[in-house]
């Protein structure tokens, strides 16, 4: 079994606040296995998990302190500029912090950025050269 | 098109060092579209990208300063305890920083953690209750 990324876990201050945020802002429903300790979202072949930040740091045996940029961005691709705006606006209406308003990009696409309640950075993006399958996975 | 995670981008200090690290430590080959400005790895339905940290922060219009825990962990699932050790040991032999040596977990699995050259945290994990398809995607 070739090593590959299967799960992305975001450390969060409040599981309840983050679960509500992702449900309202992006429409994501917690999957089976989610409970008061952890939340899973199924995204095509991978899992996005929410887990308390202090417990996540404890699990990785690193100090939980963090400041500034996480150094990681997470992108949601859409199939049109309008869809980028729709997803971005709904997120902002539901508490996302605006980082970058929708804009034309230098590489010919269209994107916007917001931060979730813990400062995790999300990019909503459209690119003319990307195609998707029926699951919304990038065709590669 | 339902919003979902499509791309995970890790900000890195040196694209060359990180590209070499992931190739040697995990066997990942840069995909089409990779060049001296960005690196893409295809992981089932999603893309893992490496991009210079300062440019990533500039793109998201956030200050590039960061310290401590990123608040994000990335997991690679394997189908046996032995495979966890094999992947972990190869990563460490190729420059990964040990965070947690392979161990039995409280939830009945087996895992280990390492950090990449920029401190991004990777968990190598086995769980008795997970199944995978032929692409290595978690069956859900």
Position A16 in a domain: yes
Q: Quote the CA–CA distance of A72 and B122 in Å, as a whole number.
A: 13
Q: Average pLDDT, stretch A40-60?
A: 94
Q: Write down the residue that tokens 């981008």 correspond to.
A: B9
Q: Based on the fold, state whether residues B75 and B128 are members of the same structural domain.
A: yes
Q: Quote the CA–CA distance of A126 and A140 in Å, as a whole number.
A: 16
Q: Write down the residue that tokens 């990681």 correspond to.
A: A72
Q: Give the three-class secondary structure for A91.
A: helix
Of A43, A57, A79, the CB nearest to B5: A43
What is the separation of C-alpha B11 from the centre of its chain, rounded to a whole number of angstroms?
A: 12
Question: Residue B2 sits in a domain of what CATH number?
Answer: 3.10.180.10
Q: Based on the fold, state whether residues B75 and B127 are members of the same structural domain.
A: yes
pTM of the model: 0.94
Position B140 in a domain: no
- pLDDT attached to residue A140: 65
CA distance A41 to chain B (A): 9
Q: Based on the fold, state whether residues B75 and B122 are members of the same structural domain.
A: yes
- pLDDT attached to residue B137: 77
Inspect the interface and report whether the beta carbons of B69 and A68 lie closer than 8 Å. Answer: no
Strands A97-104 and B110-115: unpaired
Half-sphere exposure of A88 (CA within 13 A, CB side): 26
Residues in chain A within 8 Å Cβ distance of B66: 66-71
Q: Based on the fold, state whether residues B56 and B100 are members of the same structural domain.
A: no
Position B92 in a domain: yes
Structure tokens, B83: 């495979």
Inspect the interface and report whether the beta carbons of A121 and B60 lie closer than 8 Å. Answer: yes
Question: In whole numbers, what is the pLDDT of chain A averaged over residues?
Answer: 94
Inspect the interface and report whether the beta carbons of B138 and A45 lie closer than 8 Å. Answer: yes
Structure tokens, B2: 């339902």
- pLDDT attached to residue B6: 94
CA distance B94 to chain A (A): 15
Inspect the interface and report whether the beta carbons of B75 and A140 lie closer than 8 Å. Answer: no
Q: Based on the fold, state whether residues B109 and B87 are members of the same structural domain.
A: yes
Q: What is the edge-to-edge ordering of all strands in the sheet holding A46-52?
A: A39-43, A46-52, A5-12, B72-77, B121-126, B110-115, B97-104
- pLDDT attached to residue A21: 98
Of A46, A59, A74, the CB nearest to B45: A46
DSSP A33: T
Q: Based on the fold, state whether residues B77 and B54 are members of the same structural domain.
A: no
Q: Which domain does B51 fall in, by range?
A: 1-61
Q: What is the pLDDT along chain B (140 residues), one digit of tens a residue?
A: 889 999 999 999 999 999 999 999 999 999 998 999 999 999 887 999 999 999 999 999 999 999 999 999 999 999 999 999 999 999 999 999 999 999 999 889 999 999 999 999 999 999 988 787 777 777 76
Inspect the interface and report whether the beta carbons of B70 and A72 lie closer than 8 Å. Answer: yes
Position B50 in a domain: yes
Residues in chain A within 8 Å Cβ distance of B115: 62
Position A135 in a domain: no
Strand partners, B24: none
CA distances (Å), B57 to each of A72, B35, B54, B60, B128, in order? 9, 19, 5, 5, 38
Q: Quote the CA–CA distance of B75 and B58 in Å, as a whole number.
A: 27
DSSP A50: E
- pLDDT attached to residue A6: 94
* B85 backbone dihedrals φ, ψ, rounded to 5°: -65, -40
Strands B46-52 and B5-12: parallel
DSSP A40: E
Position B107 in a domain: yes
Q: How many folded domains does chain B comprise?
A: 2
Half-sphere exposure of A25 (CA within 13 A, CB side): 23
- Mutation choice for B interface testing from A11, A23, A25, A45 by most B CBs within 10 A: A45
Question: What residue of B is the nearest CA neighbor of A90?
Answer: B3
The number of C-beta contacts closer than 8 angstroms across A and B is 228
pLDDT one-digit tens code per residue, A67-125:
999 999 999 999 999 999 999 999 999 999 999 999 999 889 999 999 999 999 999 99
Position B14 in a domain: yes
Structure tokens, A42: 């199924």
Inspect the interface and report whether the beta carbons of A99 and B60 lie closer than 8 Å. Answer: yes
- pLDDT attached to residue A131: 80
Q: Based on the fold, state whether residues B4 and B22 are members of the same structural domain.
A: yes
Position B137 in a domain: no
């Amino acid at each position: 079994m070739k090593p590959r990324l299967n799960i992305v876990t975001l450390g969060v201050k409040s599981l309840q606040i983050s679960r509500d945020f992702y449900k309202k802002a992006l429409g994501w429903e917690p999957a089976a296995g989610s409970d008061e300790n952890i939340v899973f979202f199924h995204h095509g072949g991978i899992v996005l998990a929410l887990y308390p930040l202090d417990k996540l740091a404890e699990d990785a045996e690193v100090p939980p302190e963090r400041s500034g940029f996480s150094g990681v961005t997470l992108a949601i691709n859409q199939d049109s500029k309008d869809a980028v705006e729709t997803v971005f606006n709904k997120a902002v209406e539901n508490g996302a912090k605006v980082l970058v308003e929708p804009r034309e990009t230098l590489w010919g696409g269209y994107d916007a950025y917001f931060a979730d309640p813990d400062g995790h950075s999300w990019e909503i993006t459209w690119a003319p050269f990307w195609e998707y399958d029926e699951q919304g996975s990038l065709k590669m």
